[in-house]
């Protein structure tokens, strides 16, 4: 298999953590992110020989099993201090799975939209997040990476990504029905 592509924004944006970016840099990152997300999703699905279908639950369970298996191997994780940790390619793989989940949620819930988080005290400050869930938002990239790390620690299983999709889709549909 070819090497999995790194999740690499332009160098001047990658060299800063999101909280250190200026508003202009945050907007530039958001634009880069939005322009590249569909290509990353397509490459992710191609890497695993998958296609997205109308049966999102089955897709996510099947793909989740493939991703979980991959995360336990090089080049996606490595042993360090007696435990498996994500490599840069592992972070990219988990991030792309988050993008796929976000895309699936949006296809199920038209009220869910991408937005740039502007609350400085939020962990996702200056990052793209999904809104349309009432007072809360979803950082699908950061969330998926956190779940991949938990999987490597043994705190999650391969169904974790399906559970993310299921929870956030139900929440978005509930909020949308309350706003009708």
CB 101 within 8 A of CB 165: yes
Instruction: Let me know if residue 1 belongs to a domain.
Output: no
Q: What is the pLDDT of residue 58?
A: 87
Instruction: Let me know if residue 144 belongs to a domain.
Output: yes
Instruction: Let me know if residue 65 belongs to a domain.
Output: yes
**Distance from C-alpha of 22 to C-alpha of 116, rounded to nearest angstrom:** 13
The count of structural domains within the chain is 1
Instruction: Let me know if residue 3 belongs to a domain.
Output: no
Q: How does residue 134 score in pLDDT terms, banded at 50, 70 and 90?
A: very high
Residue 130 pLDDT exceeds 60: yes
Instruction: Let me know if residue 5 belongs to a domain.
Output: no
Residue 52 pLDDT exceeds 90: no
Encode pLDDT of 78-123 as tens digits.
999 999 999 999 999 999 999 999 999 999 999 999 999 999 999 9
Q: What is the pLDDT of residue 1?
A: 52
User: Measured between alpha carbons, how far is residue 143 from residues 98, 124, 136, 165 in Å?
Assistant: 7, 10, 14, 11
Percentage helix, strand, coil, to 5, in the chain?
A: 55, 10, 30
Instruction: Let me know if residue 137 belongs to a domain.
Output: yes
Q: What is the pLDDT of residue 55?
A: 79
Instruction: Let me know if residue 2 belongs to a domain.
Output: no
CB 140 within 8 A of CB 101: yes
Q: Which domain holds residue 125?
A: 11-178
CB 140 within 8 A of CB 130: yes
Nearest to 60 by CA among 111, 113, 104: 104
Instruction: Let me know if residue 153 belongs to a domain.
Output: yes
Task: Give the residues across from 83 on adjacent strands.
Answer: 80
Mean pLDDT of 35-45: 96
CB 158 within 8 A of CB 59: no
Q: What is the pLDDT of residue 86?
A: 97
């Amino acid at each position: 298999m070819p090497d999995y592509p790194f999740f690499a924004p332009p160098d001047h944006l990658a060299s800063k953590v999101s909280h250190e970016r200026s508003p202009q840099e945050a907007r530039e990152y958001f634009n880069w992110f939005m322009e590249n997300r569909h290509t990353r999703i397509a490459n992710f699905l191609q890497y695993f020989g998958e296609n997205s279908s109308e049966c999102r639950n089955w897709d996510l369970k099947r793909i989740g099993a493939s991703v979980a298996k991959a995360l336990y191997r090089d080049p996606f994780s490595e042993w360090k201090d007696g435990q498996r940790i994500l490599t840069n390619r592992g972070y990219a793989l988990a991030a792309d799975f988050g993008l796929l989940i976000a895309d699936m949620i949006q296809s199920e819930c038209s009220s869910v939209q991408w937005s740039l988080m502007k609350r400085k005290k939020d962990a996702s400050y200056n990052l793209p997040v999904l809104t349309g869930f009432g007072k809360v938002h979803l950082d699908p990239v950061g969330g998926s990476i956190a779940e991949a790390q938990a999987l490597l620690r043994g705190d999650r299983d391969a169904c974790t990504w399906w559970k993310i999709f299921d929870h956030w889709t139900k929440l978005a549909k509930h909020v949308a029905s309350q706003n009708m």
